[in-house]
Structure 1
């Protein structure tokens, strides 16, 4: 069964400083704004070709290094926009994608998206060590700016990478690049009333901790997302959420049971029964980064929870109880009659029944193929495109165990397009009323919110 793990524009990675370049010379991290960047050498892949490149060969151009990974959602999502910026500014700017992933991994990854025009026209450094050592970081994505004269201008998040900033720099204007902050998790949180040590720094649960709970406001430049920590037996005992809205925190808290594959409750399975919900969930245009960042700064939190022995209460249940107490709310799962998108068999289902062969599943934004795979695979792969964006709950009534062969050509983020492409295949997606579990959040007048 496919298990999908989502983190919206944030991922954790540990960095190493033990890289070398040249004749065994250690690479010194460039951390001082205005410092000259060493003449690092690295191999670049572009349009099927590979060549050796040095920083000095890029003099006269504004250089933007985009550090990411093939498993990093923002790294993928930003590529079209970065390719567009590269095309707009031409020879004046050089944007380079940088990843520690191997060329083999990257090549396989590119095959999924090779139909997307211009997305991968940008040069890419794979198997990276030198650039990551020179510009150490913990959170992805990470953007490093090098001036046309070869000096470090700064390291930022994706919000700074836009036409306005680039035009100002090329025009010789003074530009303030809001720095991306990369503190360790324990440095980002206020002391808790009950806490022990801060963990081993590897994302594992510190078994010396009996109970720890911390909450603070928005942390500028730290991105957003969740890290889950496990004990030595592999059980979830800790959760660290960075810059998340109250709505998102509750999605995490109830991300178990039927939502275990997603590790979050889909946004369309949450009902906010509140007189005023504007501070709970951002409803504006996600592409309007200025408005989004301003809203996040006022309405997002960093939350950390560790439990040595939750007993009958799971980590998630404890988190839900704490959130209710902190924000003066009452949350629970309730059955409600809702209009849903329903995946179900038709009378032509036999057309999809799998022939003998190896199990295979693959998808990209415009195509999906299943071979000898359970029908639940189709549901879960569609769900990853719909679970946040679509306003209507999506449920599976196929039973999930029948093995099928299916090739689907449609924009997978568009439910109507997928339903049309499935017509006559043996499966259909229809809109019908169903009684389903919904996460209901309402104000608890008997509890005073601790958080202003």
Structure 2
């Protein structure tokens, strides 16, 4: 099974296909920013054992460092695009993959999956130098270097033909910076006077804040016996799902489980046909929200108040409803189960993992959750059906009533 780049985990966290790396909470002292020159030392060890020269020692004017690792599905999904980009610009561009993983680990991965080899891109392994120059918490993470000078530190979605051509032509580029170390001080309310001098409960509602990354949380003011619930720089739908998820346990809220019945759908649902870059869309439509309650207010009461308040502020109605949705259903098969070895996965765990693929309908099962099966990779409905048939099970497609999140225009 493949889990694609556009998996959207929208219940508790927002990272679109990103992998969090182990890193210090503070930025290392010697780091590079836009306008800084790369050091003259070589950039690290390549997969073939040779060393990658310093940026100024390469024949290509533009060097793009793509920080990644083999467990980052969105990183791997972007390699085909990067391969085509490298081929299109030839000697003007050099794209380099950078990973802290060992050469052995990357080689073992490549033996099972040739996506890195097929890209034809150089891979810096055992990296620590480049990470120290361009520290980050999540991958993919991209640094743009022209004639030895850093021009941008961006999200990988901006690495495309238009931006490469513009940079090579103009000698500079203006991209949204991927800054993983922005700090939001939750001890300081966004609007102190409004929150603390108004009748409880009350709230503050703003748009995207340049000084913070996305953050959800709770701040307890024990002195005044107050609790502040906050959501900073989050798109509206994930904000709602975070709150609803505090009231009841939600399934993975993939796009099939989200229904937006609004004339202003572009505010709530990122679509490439409307906005080319998701980060631009997030900065345009994300909200920053805080609500203040007395410490005695129960969690359920707080969350329901926030839902009603958000409905009022975004001028919509929201709800969790049971609706008929096209689903893939795992059922008992007609044939007896063959004597397969390695039956170590329960149907509950298998269905949960399979359902994380945002490209396919929700996966349900009509067999006991402790049913054991032997799994393997699959990509399509027919391949999954064959896998299940081998385990004495079957796969059908039909509409089932499941829980969905709905947003309506207010009438």
Equivalent residue number for residue 45 of structure 1: 46
> 2-side partners of 1:309 and 1:111: how far apart?
57
Counterpart of 2:315? Answer: 328
Q: CA deviation at 1:174?
A: 3.7
CA shift, 1:374, in A, is: 0.7
Q: Alpha carbons of 1:428 and 1:318: their partners in 2 closer, same or farther (altered >3 Å)?
A: farther
> What 5-or-longer segments of structure 2 have no aligned partner?
1-6, 10-14, 221-227
Q: Which residue of 1 aligns with 2:365?
A: 396
Q: Relative contact order (alpha carbons < 8 A, sep ≥ 6): 1 or 2 greater?
A: 2
Structure 1 position 373, deviation (Å): 1.1
> Which structure 2 residues correspond to residues 412-431 of structure 1 after superposition, within 5 A?
414-415=380-381, 417-419=383-385, 422-423=388-389, 425-431=391-397
Mapped pair 1:147 → 2:111: no
Deviation at 1:64, TM superposition (A): 0.8
What secondary structure is seen at the aligned counterpart in 2 of 1:313? Answer: helix
User: 2:170 is matched with which residue?
Assistant: 173
Distance of aligned partners of 1:77 and 1:317 in 2 relative to their CA distance in 1, 3 Å threshold = farther
1:367 aligned residue: none
Q: Give deviations 1:161-208, integer Å, cap 9, x for gaps.
A: 1122323444x4344232415262427998145779xxxxxxxxxxxx
Tell me what 1:248 maps to: 238
Change (3 A) 1:342 1:325: same
CA distance in 2, matches of 1:217, 1:400: 43
Between the aligned partners of 1:375 and 1:60, the Cα distance in structure 2 is: 52
User: What SS does structure 1 have at the residue aligned with 2:90?
Assistant: helix
Offset at residue 108 of structure 1 (A): 5.5
Distance 1:151 1:269, change over 3 A: closer
Report if the CA contact (8 A) 1:376-1:398 is conserved: no
Residue matched to 1:364: none
CA distance 1:53–1:121, shift in 2 (3 Å): same
Change over 3 Å in CA distance of 1:191–1:281 after alignment to 2: same
Give, in angstroms, the shift of residue 274 of structure 1.
4.0
Relative to structure 1, the CA distance from residue 429 to residue 310 in structure 2 (aligned partners, 3 Å threshold; closer, same or farther) is: farther
Matched residue, 1:270:
258
Corresponding residue number in structure 1 for 2:356: 384
**1:217–1:36 distance in 2 versus 1, CA, 3 Å:** same
Instruction: State the secondary structure of the residue aligned to 2:403.
Output: strand
Q: Distance in 1 between matches of 2:73 and 2:123?
A: 17
Q: Is the 8 A contact 2:76 2:115 kept in 1?
A: no
Larger helix percent: 2
Tell me what 2:12 maps to.
none
Q: Do residues 157 (structure 1) and 140 (structure 2) align?
A: no
With normalisation by structure 2, the TM-score equals: 0.74
Alpha-carbon separation, structure 2, partners of 1:278 and 1:132: 36
Cα distance change on mapping 1:10 and 1:372 into 2, 3 Å = closer
User: 3-state SS of the aligned residue for 1:186?
Assistant: coil
Whole-angstrom distance in 2 between the partners of 1:59 and 1:195: 58
Q: Is the 8 A contact 1:98 1:125 kept in 2?
A: yes
Which of 341, 345, 348 is the equivalent residue of 1:373? 345
Superposition RMSD in Å: 4.3
Are the equivalent residues in 1 in contact too, given 2:337–2:393 (CA < 8 A)?
A: no
Contact 1:372 1:404 in 2 (8 A): yes
Superposition map of 1:267-306 within 5 A: 267-274=255-262, 277-285=265-273, 289=276, 295-303=281-289
Deviation of 1:309 after TM superposition, in Å, equals: 7.8
Output the CA distance in 1 between the equivalents of 2:103 and 2:216: 27
- The 1-side partners of 2:46 and 2:124 are apart by 6
321 and 429 in structure 1: CA distance in 2 versus 1, 3 angstrom threshold: farther
Report the Cα offset of residue 344 of structure 1. Answer: 1.6
1:156–1:334: structure 2 CA closer, same or farther, 3 Å change rule? closer
Do the aligned residues in 2 keep the contact of 1:251 with 1:267 (CA within 8 Å)? no
Q: Distance in 2 between matches of 1:28 and 1:347?
A: 64
TM-score using structure 1 length: 0.68
Contact 1:28 1:133 in 2 (8 A): yes
User: CA contact under 8 A between 1:143 and 1:156: conserved in structure 2?
Assistant: yes
Q: In structure 1, how many angstroms separate the alpha carbons of the residues matched to 2:17 and 2:291?
A: 21
Q: Aligned-pair distance for 1:379?
A: 1.1
Q: How many residues end up aligned between the 2 structures?
A: 383
**CA displacement 1:249-302 (0-9 Å, x = unmatched):** 333433465535x4xx2221223344653432234449x725x56654543334
- DSSP-derived class of the 2:370 partner: coil
